[in-house]
Structure 1
């Protein structure tokens, strides 16, 4: 187990006077989600109270009151969106049916049967390129018990696969659906569904500097006995049409939960400090936490070292050029890239921010089944194991 090293301090520094747990970027993304999905749904997805979102929205409206011309333009846009929504039902239907357009007759019929009542059968048959006569014949024909079970499983697997946005393969889907891994794998293969694949790694660390370094206190031991015993941190990158975006993340090794993160178009010391400050706010300023990172200039900077000292945190750094010394963080970076970034094109940096917000705050912390935790989410693991 990790041996904690702490520095004695004559006086415990007072935490910041503000009590806020959430930064402005979090609030902006949360309000955008509330606008898109509704306040109740956004609050549920993010683990917030609906009243918090209403308060944030009211304050934002006070700050950013729109001119008459802007309000008119916004109303015109809303009207246009409603018209587009009315005319695009055929386009929305394939989205709900996931990869059914590419699948066989049996799967298509099962999808149509699943959504009878939501859309006209004639419309669904036209979109999925099968005849109404064929569907009704399939619907009247009593399938074998095996075929029926297979069709039901295919629909369940497809729904779970689409809900996870192609992030999960047979291993996680089988746990989520409580079905055999082989059954789920065969269903995925039968439907031509494949989880997102990895891409080539690109290094972001600049360790060519003369700044002070810290001892490696973890020594590749990533097991801890309690929360806030050791955090790991790193910077990764996301490409957009407007240029690069850099993401700094702080991960608690106990539950593998992302406790802090920040994004910017520049890879600076302020970026890693912002992520660490979020972690401190969310974890209520624990002291004596080991904060492990690589030897990048951002983590060796005076700004970052000062932040660690001020709040009684203990620095730790990987050996030069040894990615295995921060393997837990590298694994998280890989998951982010495979499950949220690869295969996506971001026209703007704001789109990239929204995707990262959704991945961390809605999917990863709250619902992603983590193999290291016995296939429960980080939030669930903490709920079950912290008294």
Structure 2
């Protein structure tokens, strides 16, 4: 949360998995507060529509994201007019790398992508032998079930993202 009470979120995309039928791209919106995945979309291309769908999925699950700040790199899908129109439509404020090539601006998201690639397909499965649909199910389950609800995160004090979120809101209730 920022000082105005808006949820600050981080968006990352650009993760691709090479499957039997081609490359599958993953786009996710991660919450900077608890590292939870708030929105997710998977497609065979890396265009602005993928990012728009991720945003729509996050807003469907978390309507309170309207008015938030969303951070991304300067990829063409994030600076496209269709994407920028969608974030403006929901009152979301866009933050991008200050200048091109500053990897530290998106380091948190890139770190999460590395964990996904290490923990899921490359250590346990041969993604190159999987169909796109098999990859979609695998990645969807990993991020929205395992990552959000069971995977412990050291940044959360050893709690999963959704457990940290529940504890935060419970503490707000006690303080009120």
Normalising to structure 1: TM-score of the pair?
A: 0.41
Partner of 2:107: 327
Q: State the SS of the aligned residue for 1:278.
A: helix
> Which residue is 1:316 aligned to?
95
Alignment partner of 1:326: what SS?
A: helix
- 1:352-383 deviation per Cα after TM superposition (whole angstroms, max 9, x unaligned): 10110121122100000000000000010011
Scaled by the length of structure 2, the TM-score of the pair is 0.88
Give the root-mean-square deviation of aligned CA atoms. 1.6
Q: Is the 8 A contact 2:59 2:66 kept in 1?
A: no
How far, CA to CA, are the matches of 2:70 and 2:100 in structure 1? Answer: 17
Cα displacement (A) at 1:313: 0.2
Aligned to 1:381: 164
What residue is the counterpart of 1:358 in the other structure?
A: 141
- How far the C-alpha of 1:345 sits from its partner, in A, is 1.6
Q: Residue 20 of structure 2 corresponds to which residue in structure 1?
A: 241
**CA deviation vs aligned residue, 1:27-71 (integer Å, no higher than 9, x gap):** xxxxxxxxxxxxxxxxxxxxxxxxxxxxxxxxxxxxxxxxxxxxx
Identify the match of residue 9 of structure 2 among 231, 240, 247. 231
Q: Distance in 2 between matches of 1:369 and 1:244?
A: 29
How many aligned residue pairs are there? 165
Map residues 1-387 of structure 1 onto 2, 5 A cutoff. 229-235=7-13, 236-318=15-97, 319-343=99-123, 344-346=125-127, 347-386=130-169, 387=172
Between structure 1 and structure 2, the one with the greater Rg is 1
Kindly state the Cα deviation for residue 334 of structure 1 after the two structures are TM-superposed: 0.9
Ranked by relative contact order (alpha carbons within 8 Å, sequence separation 6 or more), the top structure is: 2
> Unaligned stretches of 5+ in structure 1?
5-225
Contact 1:259–1:283 at 8 Å: present in 2 too? Answer: yes
Partner Cα distance (2:80, 2:146) in 1: 32
Higher strand share: 2
Q: Match for residue 200 of structure 1?
A: none
Equivalent position of 1:72 in the other structure? none
Distance in structure 2 (CA, Å) of the matches to 1:336 and 1:3:
31
Which secondary structure does the structure 2 equivalent of 1:336 belong to?
Answer: helix
2:120 aligned counterpart, secondary structure: helix
Q: Which residue of 2 aligns with 1:178?
A: none
CA–CA distance in structure 1, aligned partners of residues 105 and 2 of structure 2:
14
How far residue 2 of structure 1 moved from its aligned partner, in angstroms, is 5.1
Stretches of structure 2 that go unaligned for 5 or more consecutive residues are: none
Structure 2 CA distance for aligned equivalents of residues 286 and 364 of structure 1 = 20
Q: Could you list the per-position Cα deviations for residues 143-164 of structure 1 after superposition, in whole angstroms to 9, with x for gaps in the alignment?
A: xxxxxxxxxxxxxxxxxxxxxx
Q: Which runs of at least 4 in structure 1 moved beyond 3 Å after TM superposition? A: 1-4
